C-alpha cells in the first residue's frame, strides 16, 4: 500500500469518524436525548414494566366499576333468598307478601271478617330466621320474611303491648227519623208541663211560645231546635 | 472549559459537566451508532444506554487525554450496538472458509461526500455492514471480530469480502453518476 493510498483511506475514515450529521436528515435533538439520559442516570425514569402493571390494574378496576353499574341497572328478581320458617309455621298456607316487606308487620294474613280490633302498634321480637343466600347474588340480598298470624305470634314470640288504648269520644250520629221520635216525646213532655202547671197562665204570646219550644231539650242529650210557625 | 476539567467535574458528580460532555460527543456517537444500527430511534436508545454506562463508569476511568476518552466512549457505544444486534439475532451467518481478497477503490471513495459514504455503508446488509465497520473503520482483526460476534473467523472474512464487493459496485455506480453529472 502506497502512502497516497494510505492517506486516502485515512482521509475518508477520518471524515466518517468525525461526522456529526447526514445531509437531508434532522440532527439529533440533544436536549431531549440528554433529558432521557439524565432521568435514567438519577433514577427518575420509571420502569416500563411498572407502567404497564399500573395501566392494567387501572383497566381492570374500570371494568369492575362498569360491570357493577350495569348490574345495578338491571331489574331485580322478585326473590333472591329463601327464608326458612320455624317448624311451627311450616304447615301454614303460603301468604302472599307485598314487595316491600322490610320492617312490615301484619297481624292477619287472610282477609276474613274478624272480631280482631287493631288496638295499637305492637313492638315484637320476631323469631330468628335462617337466611339462605344464593351464591350468585353478590351485591344485594333480599330477605323475604313471612308474616305470622296472631295465633303464631302468641305462641312463638314474646309480643309486648306497649301502647295504650286510645279511643276518642265522639258524639253519636243520629238519623233524621230518630229525630222525629224524639220530637214526639218532647211534645208529650210539654203537654205534661202544661197540664201540671195549669195555673200558670201561659201567655199566648208568639215570642214566648217560640222560646219555650226552642229551649225544650231532649232526654237523649241531643239538642233539638224546634221552630213553631204559630202566628 | 476544556474536556479535562469537564471530566474532572463530571467525576465529582456535577450534572452541568456531564451535560457539557454529553453535548460535546452526542452527535458523533449518534452517527457511529447509526452506522451499526440503521434505525434512528434504535440508535438514539443505544446512545442513551451508552452514555448512561459512560457516566456510571467515569469515576473508575483513568483519564489519559481526550483521545483516550473518545476511544473509550466509542468502545462503549460499539459494544452497546453489538449487544443490540445480538439480541436481534442479526448474526446468523453461514460459515465460509473461502474468501477472496477484495480491495476498495479508495480514490473513488474519496470522491464521494461523507454523507454518501455513510449512506452506502448503511445500505449494506446487517452482517456485511457490521464486519465492514469493525474491520475497515475500527481497525479490528478477524479474530477479534469473530470473538465479538460469536462467529467463525472465516465467516468474518467472507462477510468482509462480500461487503467490499457490494460497496465497490455501489461506489462505481455513484462515481459514474458523479461523472455524468460533471460532464453535463
Q: Answer whether A5 sits within 8 Å of B18, measured CB to CB.
A: no
Domain identity same for B48 and B12: yes
More reliable by pLDDT, A207 or B40: B40
For B85-100, b where at least 16 C-beta lie within 10 A, e where not — what string? Answer: beeeebbebeeeeebe
B53 close to B83: Cβ distance less than 8 angstroms:
no
Residues of chain B below pLDDT 70: 90-102, 105, 178-184
A6 vs chain B: nearest CA distance in angstroms?
A: 9
More reliable by pLDDT, A57 or A20: A57
Number of independent structural domains in chain B: 2
Question: How far, CA to CA in Å, does A85 sit from each of A82, A88, A94, A134, A152?
Answer: 9, 8, 11, 17, 12
* Alpha-carbon torsion angle A43, A48, A52, A53, nearest 10: -50
Domain identity same for B59 and B116: no
- Chain A, residues 23-42, CB within 8 A of chain B, namely 23-25, 27-28, 30, 33-34, 36-38, 40-41
Q: 3-class DSSP state for residue A60? A: helix
**Could you report the per-residue pLDDT of A180-197, keeping only the tens digit for each?**
666 677 677 777 776 766
pLDDT at residue A73 greater than cutoff 90: no
Domain identity same for B10 and B79: yes
Task: Give me the residue from A8, A13, A20 closest to B137, CB to CB.
Answer: A13
The residue written with cell numbers 502512502 in the block is: A3
* B134 within a domain of the structure (yes/no): yes
Q: Which residue of A has its CA nearest to B41?
A: A28
* B101 within a domain of the structure (yes/no): no
CATH number of the domain residue B142 falls in: 1.10.10.10
Q: Answer whether A16 sits within 8 Å of B114, measured CB to CB.
A: yes
Residue that is last in its domain, among B87, B118, B141: B87
Q: 3-class DSSP state for residue A160? A: strand
* B169 within a domain of the structure (yes/no): yes
Domain identity same for B113 and B80: no
In the prediction, which pLDDT does A26 show? 80
In the prediction, which pLDDT does B92 show? 67
Q: Are strands A81-84 and A158-161 parallel, antiparallel or unpaired?
A: unpaired
In the prediction, which pLDDT does B86 show? 87
B165 close to B72: Cβ distance less than 8 angstroms:
no
Domain identity same for B16 and B73: yes
Domain identity same for B54 and B111: no
B31 vs chain A: nearest CA distance in angstroms?
A: 6
Task: Write the ipTM.
Answer: 0.81
Burial of A164 (0-12, 13-18, 19+ CB in 10 A): exposed
Q: Answer whether A30 sits within 8 Å of B26, measured CB to CB.
A: yes
In the prediction, which pLDDT does A17 show? 82
Q: Which residue of A has its CA nearest to B71?
A: A17
Provide the residue range defining the domain that includes B158.
106-183
Rounded mean pLDDT, A41-49: 69
B134 close to B153: Cβ distance less than 8 angstroms:
no
Residue that is last in its domain, among B36, B60, B87: B87
A14 interface with B at CB cutoff 8 Å: no
Q: Which residue of B has its CA nearest to A7?
A: B106
Domain identity same for B54 and B125: no
Contacts of A21 in chain B (CB under 8 A): 27, 31
* B111 within a domain of the structure (yes/no): yes
Nearest-angstrom CA–CA distance, A193 and A19: 145
* B96 within a domain of the structure (yes/no): no
Domain identity same for B66 and B125: no
Q: Which helix (H) or strand (E) holds A131?
A: strand A130-133
Nearest-angstrom CA–CA distance, B104 and B173: 14
The residue written with cell numbers 298456607 in the block is: A93
Nearest-angstrom CA–CA distance, B94 and B166: 18
pLDDT at residue A223 greater than cutoff 60: no
CATH number of the domain residue B31 falls in: 1.10.1740.10
Count the residues in chain A.
231
Rounded to the nearest 5°, which phi and psi values hold at B6? -60, -40
A2 interface with B at CB cutoff 8 Å: no
In the prediction, which pLDDT does A158 show? 46
Domain identity same for B80 and B120: no
Nearest-angstrom CA–CA distance, B37 and B129: 9
Q: Answer whether A38 sits within 8 Å of B19, measured CB to CB.
A: yes
Q: Which residue of B has its CA nearest to A33?
A: B48
B126 vs chain A: nearest CA distance in angstroms?
A: 18
* B95 within a domain of the structure (yes/no): no
Rounded to the nearest 5°, which phi and psi values hold at A4? -65, -45
* B92 within a domain of the structure (yes/no): no
Nearest-angstrom CA–CA distance, A40 and A24: 30
Cα B143 off chain centre by:
18
Among A68-72, A93-97, A152-156, B56-60, the range of highest mean pLDDT: B56-60
Q: Which of A17, A25, A44 to probe the B interface (max B CBs under 10 A)? A: A17
In the prediction, which pLDDT does B102 show? 67
Domain identity same for B47 and B118: no
Q: Answer whether B106 sits within 8 Å of A12, measured CB to CB.
A: yes
**Could you report the per-residue pLDDT of A122-168, keeping only the tens digit for each?**
555 555 555 555 555 444 545 555 555 555 555 544 444 444 445 56
Q: Which residue of B has its CA nearest to A31?
A: B23
In the prediction, which pLDDT does A159 show? 45
Cα B64 off chain centre by:
23
Residue that is last in its domain, among B40, B55, B87: B87
SS (H, E, C) chain B: CCHHHHHHHHHHCCHHHHHHHHHHHHHHHHHHHHHHCCCHHHHHHHHHHHHHHHHHHHHHCCCCCHHHHHHHHHHHHHHHHHHHHHHCCCCCCCCCCCCCCCCCCHHHHHHCCHHHHHHHHHCCCHHHHHHHHHHHHCCCCHHHHHHHHCCCHHHHHHHHHHHHHHHHHHHHHHHHHHHHHHHC
Rounded to the nearest 5°, which phi and psi values hold at A25? -120, 140
In the prediction, which pLDDT does A100 show? 47
* B100 within a domain of the structure (yes/no): no
Amino acid at each position: 500500500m502506497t502512502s497516497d493510498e494510505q492517506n486516502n483511506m485515512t482521509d475518508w475514515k477520518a471524515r466518517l469518524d468525525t461526522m456529526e450529521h447526514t445531509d437531508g436528515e434532522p440532527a439529533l435533538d440533544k436536549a431531549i436525548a440528554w433529558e432521557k439520559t439524565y432521568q435514567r442516570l438519577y433514577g427518575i425514569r420509571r420502569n416500563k414494566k411498572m407502567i404497564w402493571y399500573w395501566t392494567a390494574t387501572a383497566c381492570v378496576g374500570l371494568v369492575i366499576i362498569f360491570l357493577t353499574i350495569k348490574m345495578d341497572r338491571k331489574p331485580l328478581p322478585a326473590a333472591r333468598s329463601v327464608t326458612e320458617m320455624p317448624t311451627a309455621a311450616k304447615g301454614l298456607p303460603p301468604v302472599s307478601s307485598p314487595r316491600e316487606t322490610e320492617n312490615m308487620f301484619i297481624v292477619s294474613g287472610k282477609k276474613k271478617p274478624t272480631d280482631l280490633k287493631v288496638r295499637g302498634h305492637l313492638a315484637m321480637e320476631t323469631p330468628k330466621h335462617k337466611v339462605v343466600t344464593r351464591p350468585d347474588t353478590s351485591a344485594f340480598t333480599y330477605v323475604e320474611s313471612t308474616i305470622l298470624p296472631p295465633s303464631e305470634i302468641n305462641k312463638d314470640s314474646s309480643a309486648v303491648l306497649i301502647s295504650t288504648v286510645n279511643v276518642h269520644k265522639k258524639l253519636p250520629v243520629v238519623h233524621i227519623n230518630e229525630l222525629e221520635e224524639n220530637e214526639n216525646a218532647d211534645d208529650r213532655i210539654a203537654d205534661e208541663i202544661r197540664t201540671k202547671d195549669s195555673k200558670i197562665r201561659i201567655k199566648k204570646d208568639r215570642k214566648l211560645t217560640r222560646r219555650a219550644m226552642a229551649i225544650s231539650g231532649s232526654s237523649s242529650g241531643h239538642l233539638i231546635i224546634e221552630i213553631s210557625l204559630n202566628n | 472549559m476544556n474536556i479535562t476539567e469537564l471530566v474532572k467535574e463530571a467525576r465529582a458528580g456535577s450534572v452541568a459537566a456531564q451535560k457539557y460532555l454529553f453535548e460535546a460527543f452526542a452527535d458523533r456517537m449518534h452517527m457511529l451508532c447509526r452506522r451499526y444500527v440503521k434505525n434512528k430511534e434504535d440508535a438514539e436508545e443505544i446512545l442513551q444506554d451508552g452514555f448512561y454506562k459512560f457516566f456510571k463508569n467515569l469515576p473508575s476511568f483513568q483519564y489519559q487525554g481526550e483521545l483516550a476518552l473518545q476511544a473509550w466512549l466509542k468502545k462503549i457505544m460499539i459494544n452497546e450496538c453489538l449487544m443490540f444486534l445480538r439480541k436481534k439475532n442479526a448474526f446468523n451467518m453461514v460459515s465460509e472458509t473461502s474468501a477472496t481478497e477484495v480491495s476498495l477503490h479508495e480514490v473513488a471513495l474519496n470522491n464521494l461526500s461523507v454523507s454518501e459514504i455513510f449512506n452506502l455503508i448503511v445500505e449494506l446488509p446487517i452482517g456485511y455492514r457490521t464486519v465492514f465497520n469493525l474491520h475497515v473503520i475500527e481497525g479490528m482483526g478477524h479474530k477479534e471480530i469473530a470473538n465479538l460476534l460469536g462467529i467463525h473467523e472465516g465467516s468474518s472474512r467472507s462477510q468482509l469480502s462480500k461487503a467490499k464487493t457490494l460497496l465497490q459496485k455501489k461506489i462505481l455506480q455513484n462515481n459514474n453518476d458523479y461523472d455524468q453529472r460533471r460532464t453535463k
